[in-house]
Amino acid sequence: MSHSFLGRPLETSASYLDSAAAARDLTDARLRDRAATFGLRLLAGLLDGVAADLASRDLAEVALVYDALSEQLADITKGPVEEIYLALVTLCEDPTAQRLVHKLPPPPQAHIDSLRQTVLQIKVTYLAPRGGAARRVIELLYRVENQPMARRIEHSFEWEDLPDDVRAHVIRTDERKLAYQLYPRPA
């Protein structure tokens, strides 16, 4: 277990729990209970840290998707990436992405309206082929001078780096593909 980043803390928690189990024959119940309580507290703290890490990894994935889209839209609209990022999060009405910008001032309505006129559709697809690298494919459909256009942004990564809900979907259903439509929001 020591090869994992969790190895050392788990071993420490386990040693306290083992001490409590070994002490169950002791007549001093306080010593046994203290060891068990301390081991459980260490384990609970470790699990809280793991949960926070997993949540932050999924939030980081959302941030990467919106960052890639913002860069593309900045190139298309010739606007500043930071302002487009805020306007895009607002336009997509994505509650997870909203967590990334909730402490920032809202974007000007003109930027949101401009994106609404430009962006036709945004779709993110995760592909998890057997035995190969996972991929994220972002498809951006937009218009320039009333002409529809498309851009595709692809990124490959390891199976472990797939968002938790995508990995769970693949395991549960054996479907190797999961798509999300960011804009317009599905009804």
| pLDDT, tens only, 16-30 | 566 555 655 555 667
What is the phi/psi pair of residue 150, to 5°? -140, 150
Mean pLDDT of the chain: 83
Domain locations in the chain as residue ranges: 7-183
Q: Which of 48-57, 79-88, 178-187 has the lowest mean pLDDT?
A: 48-57
Q: What is the pLDDT of residues 125-181, one digit of tens each?
A: 999 999 889 999 999 999 999 999 999 999 999 998 999 899 999 999 999 999 999
> In whole angstroms, what is the distance from residue 101 CA to residue 129 CA?
33
> In whole angstroms, what is the distance from residue 33 CA to residue 18 CA?
12
Ramachandran class of 52: left when φ > 0, alpha when ψ lies in -120 to 50, beta otherwise: alpha
> In whole angstroms, what is the distance from residue 74 CA to residue 118 CA?
11
